[in-house]
Structure 1
Amino acid sequence: MTTSRTAPFPPVVSRAQLGPLGVPIGSPGQCKAVYPLLGKPGYLFKEYRPTQLKPADPLRLDRLVRLPGQMTTADRELLEQSVSWPVARVVEGATTVGVVIPTAPRQVYAKIVDAYGEAADVPLVLTHLASQDDQLARKGLAAPSLAQRLTLCGGLIDVGDLFERHSLVYGDWGYKNIFWSAERLSVYFIDTDACSFGPQPWVESYGFEDLQTRQGQMVDTYTDRFRCAIAVAACLTGDRNQHKAMGALGGLMHDERVQRIAPVLRCIVEARSRTTRPAIAEVRGALRGTTQGTTLSAGPLSSTIVGWDPVEPPPRRKPAPPRRSPPARSSPRPPTEPTVPIPPARVYGGSAPSSAPTRSSTGSAPSLQAAGGAGETRQPLPPLTRGESAIAAAVGLFLLGVLIGIILLIIHFV
């Protein structure tokens, strides 16, 4: 492939200068369509939807187009081999309508058997790499060995580190946005024209859910670190479930390279603060053996990952407020009512005390079932309250008045 230094286009090109277009290819996704340039083999025109760009996007795209010319030779070569990087911004008049990008290398294509048993020549994506051996066999693909998976993951890490060193946020770490070659054991990133210099608006990446970057939050370098770590764990273990992939790393510890990178991946995924996630360069150094990477004081690798479980924990119930004890009294007050012994607590239907009687099976009225049975000693009735005493006194005075009135009437008539 050619880089933007040698691409046969100026940094900004009109749509008319692209020449004839071929039949749209692939699934357009968020863009309007992708056309092969018939007059410029090896290049594609990615046409945007009218509402896809923001006012600042043309300047961002121009920076992306110029960036390879500011890189070292090694970085430019990595970009050329592993990334479909935009080489020109396409305009119609003063309006940006798309970008020119390189086509994916031929070696990322393979014959894959679909659900109907028919083989088709399609790009290998990370969805295939992050699959178990039996799943790959059903698609007619040879299962890569652990050594091959480590080489492919090294490509993921190298590109992730390249982006981070140049202050780029990729954001869209999707399993279908990265191709790989079983022949050359290489990777190829697409949709990189959406890269930003610094944080960018929320980008959904299915399978890369990060609880520390909630939906609606800005996606940044710390998000990219998390998503890169999950991609590496999934492709090493053949499992796209975050929990299972992180836990399955423990079963690959017979390889010293896994021994070196697994603790760093765990640090990234388990970090309680997103800003403390180790840089992708640490994963790269650990894989190459040039650095020891970051280690944890915790125990062996576990599938219980702190802070990123896609299943929300249940809300915690607030504890009941403690009972307030009555204020201390300096001297006892004289009782205003006669003191009545408090009956002992009854037991309802069991050995433990209960705060309420049990309801009878008919539901008509509560029935007290004492542990002592029918021979239980009756307890004295509880005392009347002040209100009940006042009512009883008033009723008594009323009845007394009625009685006196009747006696006076009898005396009068007799």
Structure 2
Amino acid sequence: MTSPVGDWPLPSVVPLGTLGPLGTPLSKGDGQSKSVSPLTQHQGWLAKLYNGPLDTAATTRLDTLVALPGAASDTDCALLRSSTSWPVARITDQGATVGCVIPTAPPNFRVTIQASATSSLDKHLEIDWLAMPDATLVGRGVRAPSPQERLKVCRSVVAVAACLERHRIVYSDWSYSNAFWDPLTHAAYVIDVDGCGQGTMPNIFQPNWEDPLTPRGTAADGGADRFRVALLTARCLTGVREAWDAVHVLPTACDRAGAPGLSDVLLDMLLAADRRHRPTLDTLHSVMLGRPYFRLKVDRVSVASPAAAPPQADAAPAHQNAAAGPPVTVPPTSGVPAAQPTGTAHSPSAPAGGQQPTTGGPGGSPAGTATVVALLLLVLFVVVFITLT
């Protein structure tokens, strides 16, 4: 299947020396790559060279990715070729895997940003910009998208994510900088896909992208991808960067975009108490296309109110959905709530059975207070009676 820059003319495994001279690097020292440079003899293609040679397992993983579009359906193949920087070849040097060949992002994903009052900058428009208020985009010379256009960009990203999930490909590092968007067509383009793998992958994430149900040190899987894609979608739909502020305004944003049922599936993905109950990315994409969400009961978690949060932690607003049961107060962690099942919340001082002691304020229980008042009235009555007689 042809990519936006045409078919790759060489084999799927190519020695570095056969690629010809490399152009001026477009980036250096970015993540796991030491450089990304144009292939001067193959217009529209880039050589992405890694910080060091890949081991056998990583080499096999890369070969699987290179071969995947050829084994996928025509629809999935076309999507991967047109909407991602999917690797087309593995680069070797003296027999070791040192990089891969990827397509250049189409020019429509580049815009001129107003860097200051007197200067501008031509760059790829990262999806990061959608997680900001419209005024911020306008101030940098980018036309603010309508709610429907925000939805279209998000739907384009989710289409890629759902395709990866269908093929058991785990991306893990879903975040602002790993996708571009076109402010005119509102299409998205996902990059850094050569770091994906089937089954499970290292749990890689940026600050404030931590999945509360996938602890640090554990492998990322499809469940982690579902959470991070939903979080990216929520932030970009609302234009709100703080995760749980975005959660609160998400229903309104979905209504404005003409997708009122979308907030239900997103909130289930973000707040499910059990990661196994997070809806699939195919389900999310289906709802974004306007299809109904046949929702099963999903217990949700909530986040601590400011009063309940530890003094040293930034308080996060609470969220509660009527279908999810009573709220559970949990402290915020990296902007994301720790996962606890919904149900009856027990305070540290509550009896084992969950029944809370009833208090009537500093004086004790309501029953004790009533007894004291009755005794005082009786004494007063006796005093008055003696006085009158």
**When the two structures are superposed, what TM-score results if normalisation uses the length of structure 1?**
0.71
- Are 2:181 and 2:187, in contact at CA under 8 Å, matched by a contact in 1? yes
Structure 1 residue runs of 5 or longer lacking an equivalent are: 323-350, 354-414
CA distance in 2, matches of 1:296, 1:130: 30
Letter in 1 for 2:11: P
Provide the residue aligned with 1:393 in structure 2. none
Candidates 45, 48, 69, aligned match of 2:47: 45
SS at match of 2:51: coil
SS at match of 2:91: strand
**Structure-2 change in CA distance of 1:321 and 1:221 (3 Å):** closer
Q: Does 1:126 align with 2:127?
A: yes
CA distance in 2, matches of 1:134, 1:294: 36
**Structure-2 change in CA distance of 1:34 and 1:321 (3 Å):** same
Provide the residue aligned with 1:211 in structure 2. 212
CA distance in 1, matches of 2:347, 2:251: 35
Please identify the structure whose Cα radius of gyration is greater: 1
**Structure-2 change in CA distance of 1:180 and 1:46 (3 Å):** same
Q: Does 1:194 align with 2:209?
A: no
- Are 1:199 and 1:218, in contact at CA under 8 Å, matched by a contact in 2? yes
Deviations 1:221-280 (A, max 9, x none): 000000110111111101121101111112235347431211000111111011111101
- Are 1:58 and 1:96, in contact at CA under 8 Å, matched by a contact in 2? yes
- Are 1:157 and 1:280, in contact at CA under 8 Å, matched by a contact in 2? yes
CA distance in 2, matches of 1:183, 1:149: 11
Provide the residue aligned with 2:113 in structure 1. 112
**Structure-2 change in CA distance of 1:81 and 1:308 (3 Å):** farther
Cα deviation for residue 140 of structure 1 reads 1.2
- Are 1:267 and 1:294, in contact at CA under 8 Å, matched by a contact in 2? no
**Structure-2 change in CA distance of 1:230 and 1:320 (3 Å):** closer
Cα deviation for residue 47 of structure 1 reads 0.4
- Are 2:132 and 2:239, in contact at CA under 8 Å, matched by a contact in 1? yes
The number of equivalent residue pairs is: 321
Matches within 5 A, 1:154-169: 154-169=155-170
SS at match of 2:148: helix
- Are 2:269 and 2:278, in contact at CA under 8 Å, matched by a contact in 1? yes
Matches within 5 A, 1:366-405: none
- Are 2:4 and 2:82, in contact at CA under 8 Å, matched by a contact in 1? no
Letter in 1 for 2:22: L
Provide the residue aligned with 2:186 in structure 1. 185
- Are 2:154 and 2:233, in contact at CA under 8 Å, matched by a contact in 1? yes
Cα deviation for residue 309 of structure 1 reads 3.9
CA distance in 2, matches of 1:308, 1:171: 24
- Are 2:5 and 2:103, in contact at CA under 8 Å, matched by a contact in 1? no
Provide the residue aligned with 2:70 in structure 1. 69
- Are 1:283 and 1:293, in contact at CA under 8 Å, matched by a contact in 2? no
Matches within 5 A, 1:10-409: 10-30=11-31, 31-50=33-52, 53-115=54-116, 117-255=118-256, 257-294=258-295, 304=319, 309-310=332-333, 319=349
Letter in 2 for 1:43: W
CA distance in 1, matches of 2:62, 2:297: 40
**Structure-2 change in CA distance of 1:204 and 1:117 (3 Å):** farther
CA distance in 1, matches of 2:22, 2:262: 45
**Structure-2 change in CA distance of 1:38 and 1:247 (3 Å):** same
CA distance in 1, matches of 2:106, 2:167: 24
SS at match of 1:143: coil
- Are 1:234 and 1:240, in contact at CA under 8 Å, matched by a contact in 2? yes
- Are 2:259 and 2:290, in contact at CA under 8 Å, matched by a contact in 1? no
**Structure-2 change in CA distance of 1:284 and 1:87 (3 Å):** same
CA distance in 2, matches of 1:185, 1:272: 33
- Are 1:211 and 1:308, in contact at CA under 8 Å, matched by a contact in 2? no
- Are 2:211 and 2:224, in contact at CA under 8 Å, matched by a contact in 1? yes
Identity percentage of aligned residues: 34
**When the two structures are superposed, what TM-score results if normalisation uses the length of structure 2?**
0.76
Q: CA RMSD in A?
A: 2.9
**Structure-2 change in CA distance of 1:148 and 1:58 (3 Å):** same
- Are 2:5 and 2:104, in contact at CA under 8 Å, matched by a contact in 1? no
CA distance in 1, matches of 2:88, 2:258: 36
Letter in 1 for 2:177: K
CA distance in 1, matches of 2:29, 2:331: 31
Deviations 1:55-76 (A, max 9, x none): 3111111110000100111111
The structure carrying a bigger strand percent of its residues is 2
Cα deviation for residue 141 of structure 1 reads 1.0
Letter in 2 for 1:60: R
Provide the residue aligned with 2:343 in structure 1. none
Structure 2 residue runs of 5 or longer lacking an equivalent are: 303-316, 321-327, 339-345, 353-361, 365-389
CA distance in 2, matches of 1:248, 1:199: 33
SS at match of 2:122: strand
**Structure-2 change in CA distance of 1:9 and 1:139 (3 Å):** same
